[in-house]
């Protein structure tokens, strides 16, 4: 018996190691996503040598999301034509260049250089959006896949927490934070080069040989359906196993962005102030990052037992309750906890609601769209379809982030004075979007739990989009 357990244990260890290395490629993405939250308070301070106006600050926060779709479109051809390993290596280049550009920006700051650094890290974020999920889904046993495909999302949460922590420790020194951030993609590139081999499923889909499925389970060792390989681009996109997951995942990402999840990440310090939280805004931001990371780790284990649909429904319902609850609190208690300081229990309500909102997002809407990228598309078009999907996801992200200051002003708040402005309107908006998102999941989201990649593909080919999943 021990002789049988030894190889099985070695196989499990190898799957965990390669998944960890692949997922580490998204840490730099998380740091890029969270960087504006710790840099903007200094850049908006009136006596700062690097002061930006409100419009420049909104561009600083959102310009990375403009560049990210271009990175998504780049990663598609890299994945499909050059392989998963090459894509995992190439994505580190723009990250290194972008972080060093930000770190070496002179003081007083040069706005074009700030934008350039953010654009480069945005391109890197786009290039990192698909490869890790696809690689992990293709080289791991389907019994572990539910847990392991969430690791790239955990990597993003870890990156957000790291940059929040660095921002809290190195207050007002965003250049040093950027310099330290450059170490992460360098480490990832070296690890990928030394430890990862090409996905056997990609080798087979390219017709380069049957490959050796040393990492995946026997149930995933079937030949991929090559109907998408034989069709042209337009005909490929019209195949039911392609257009159905395209629709579902793009809608999932749309609701992810406009339910406020990434607005909270990008504007974390300001959101904490606008919610009337009485703790130090940087400490509160770090706590949000810790909670998001812990919840992401917990959900990775939960997904080995629970399906994607119930987790997403719970996530959407929790986000809805928290956003509407926070809006109602701010409506009833003007200026947040400043009016509630006489009652310490009442003063903790907004921060508790924000923490629960982050947890609710982490168990579904923040994590699962990314995890399902590696599960829902046929092998031959994962780069194309995944690139298109993440491209649109970041277009949605840019729109949500760029409109946030205007939406806040339209609904009664003021981005320039987050401590004193009224912002319940924007939280009502995010609560309403979260409610619609929950209904969408109930109607359309396909279950992939405990199914092989081939079974998922076959279900999209034969089952209707609307109905029981």
Across 63-81, average pLDDT: 87
| Contacts with 24 (C-beta within 8 Å, 6 or more apart), sequence order | 155, 184, 187, 188, 191
**Residue 419 pLDDT > 60:** no
Q: What is the mean pLDDT of residues 8-21?
A: 88
pLDDT band at 201 (very low <50, low <70, confident <90, very high): confident
Provide, rounded to the nearest whole percent, the portion of the chain with pLDDT above 90.
Answer: 31
Where residue 29 falls among pLDDT bands split at 50, 70, 90? very high
Mean pLDDT across 226-240: 66
Q: Is the pLDDT of residue 302 over 50?
A: yes
| Calpha distance 157→261 (Å, rounded) | 12
Task: Read off the pLDDT of residues 36-64 as tens digits, 9 standing for 90 and up.
Answer: 888 888 888 777 787 888 788 888 887 88
Per-residue confidence band for 225, with pLDDT thresholds at 50, 70 and 90: low
* 89 vs 332, residue with greater confidence: 89
Please determine, for residue 112, whether its predicted confidence score (pLDDT) is greater than 60: yes
Identify whether the C-beta of residue 9 lies closer than 8 Å to the C-beta of residue 238: no
Measured CA to CA, the distance from residue 248 to residue 357 in angstroms comes to 23
Mean pLDDT on 388-410: 83
341, with CB counted inside 10 A (0-12, 13-18, 19+), is exposed
Which residues, 6 or more positions from 238, have their beta carbon under 8 angstroms from its beta carbon? none
| Residue 402 or 77, more confident | 77
* pLDDT at position 2 over 80: no
Residue (of 48, 63, 168) closest to 107 by Cα position: 48
Distance between CA atoms of residues 115 and 98, nearest Å:
10
| The predicted structure's pLDDT at residue 386 | 85
More confident residue, 224 or 19: 19
pLDDT higher than 90, residue 94: yes
Tell me the H-state helices in 24-110.
Answer: 27-44, 54-77, 84-90, 92-103
In the chain, where the domains are located: 2-462
Q: Which of the four CATH numbers 3.90.1480.20, 1.10.150.650, 1.20.1250.20, 1.10.3430.10 does domain 2-462 have?
A: 1.20.1250.20
Among 181, 132, 136, 190, CA closest to 28? 181
Residue 94's contacts (CB-CB under 8 Å, 6 or more residues apart) are 71, 120, 121, 123, 124, 127
- pLDDT given at position 120: 97
- C-alpha 356/C-alpha 287 separation (Å) is 12
The predicted pLDDT at position 420 comes to 47
| Average pLDDT over the chain, rounded to an integer | 82
- Angle 253-259-260 from CA coordinates, rounded to 5°: 105
What CA–CA distance (Å, rounded) separates 381 from 56? 38
- Answer yes or no: are the C-beta atoms of 401 and 61 closer than 8 Å: yes
What pLDDT does residue 306 have?
83
For residue range 134-150, what is the model confidence (pLDDT) as tens digits? 999 888 887 788 788 88
**Cis peptide, bond prior to residue 211, ω within 30 of zero:** no
Nearest to 322 by CA among 359, 290, 354: 354
Residue 127 has pLDDT above 70, yes or no: yes
Q: Distance of CA 237 to CAs 227, 229, 377, Å?
A: 12, 11, 11
Q: What is the DSSP letter of 220?
A: G
Segment 412-427 shows an average pLDDT of: 62
Q: What is the mean pLDDT of residues 300-308?
A: 83
Mean per-residue pLDDT for 401-425? 67
**Is a pLDDT exceeding 70 seen at residue 1?**
no
Name the DSSP class of 415: T
Burial grade of 339 (CB within 10 A; 0-12, 13-18, 19 or more):
middle
Give dist(CA 188, CA 193) in Å, integer.
9
Report whether pLDDT(468) > 70: no
Predicted local distance difference test score (pLDDT) of residue 279? 64
Mean pLDDT of 187-200: 93
Question: At residue 170, does pLDDT exceed 70?
Answer: yes
Alpha-carbon span 17 to 238, nearest angstrom: 37
The pLDDT value recorded for residue 271 is 67
pLDDT for residue 418 is more than 70: no
Q: Return the pLDDT at 328.
A: 87
């Amino acid at each position: 018996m021990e002789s049988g357990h030894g190889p099985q244990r070695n196989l499990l260890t190898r799957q965990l190691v390669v998944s960890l290395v692949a997922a580490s490629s998204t840490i730099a993405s998380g740091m890029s996503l969270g960087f504006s939250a710790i840099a903007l308070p200094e850049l908006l301070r009136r006596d700062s040598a690097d002061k930006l106006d409100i419009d420049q600050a909104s561009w600083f926060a959102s310009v990375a999301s403009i560049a990210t779709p271009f990175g998504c479109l780049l990663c598609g051809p890299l994945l499909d034509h050059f392989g998963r390993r090459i894509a995992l290596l190439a994505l580190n280049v723009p990250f290194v260049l972008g972080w060093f550009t930000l770190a070496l920006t002179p003081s007083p700051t040069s706005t074009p250089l700030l934008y350039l650094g953010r654009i480069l890290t945005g391109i890197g974020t786009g290039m990192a959006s698909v490869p890790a999920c696809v690689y992990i889904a293709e080289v791991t046993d389907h019994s572990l896949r539910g847990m392991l495909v969430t690791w790239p999302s955990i990597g993003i949460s870890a990156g957000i927490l790291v940059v929040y922590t660095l921002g809290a420790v190195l207050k007002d020194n965003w250049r040093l934070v950027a310099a330290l951030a450059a170490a992460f993609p360098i480490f990832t590139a070296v690890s990928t080069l030394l430890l990862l081999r090409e996905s056997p499923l990609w080798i087979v889909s390219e017709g380069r040989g049957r490959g050796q499925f040393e990492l995946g389970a026997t149930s995933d060792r079937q030949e991929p359906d090559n109907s998408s390989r034989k069709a042209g681009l337009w005909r490929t996109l019209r195949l039911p196993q392609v257009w159905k997951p395209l629709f579902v995942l793009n809608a999932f990402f749309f609701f992810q962005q406009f339910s406020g999840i990434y607005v909270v990440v990008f504007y974390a310090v300001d959101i904490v102030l606008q919610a009337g939280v009485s703790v130090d805004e940087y400490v509160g931001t770090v706590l949000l990052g810790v909670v998001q990371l812990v919840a992401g780790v917990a959900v990775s284990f939960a997904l080995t037992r629970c399906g994607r649909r119930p987790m997403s429904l719970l996530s959407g319902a929790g986000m809805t309750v928290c956003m509407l609850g926070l809006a109602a609190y701010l409506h009833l208690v003007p200026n947040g906890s400043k009016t509630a300081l006489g009652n310490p229990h009442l003063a903790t309500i907004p921060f508790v609601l924000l923490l629960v909102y982050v947890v609710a997002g982490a168990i579904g809407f923040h994590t699962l769209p990314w995890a399902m990228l590696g599960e829902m598309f046929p092998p031959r078009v994962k780069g194309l379809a995944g690139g298109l999907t993440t491209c649109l996801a970041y277009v949605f992200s840019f729109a949500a982030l760029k409109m946030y200051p205007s939406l806040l002003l339209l609904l009664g708040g003021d981005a320039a004075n987050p401590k004193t402005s009224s912002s319940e309107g924007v939280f009502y908006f995010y609560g309403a979007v979260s409610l619609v998102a929950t209904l969408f999941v109930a109607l359309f989201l396909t279950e992939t739990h405990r199914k092989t990649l081939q079974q998922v593909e076959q279900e999209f080919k034969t089952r209707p989009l609307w109905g029981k999943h």
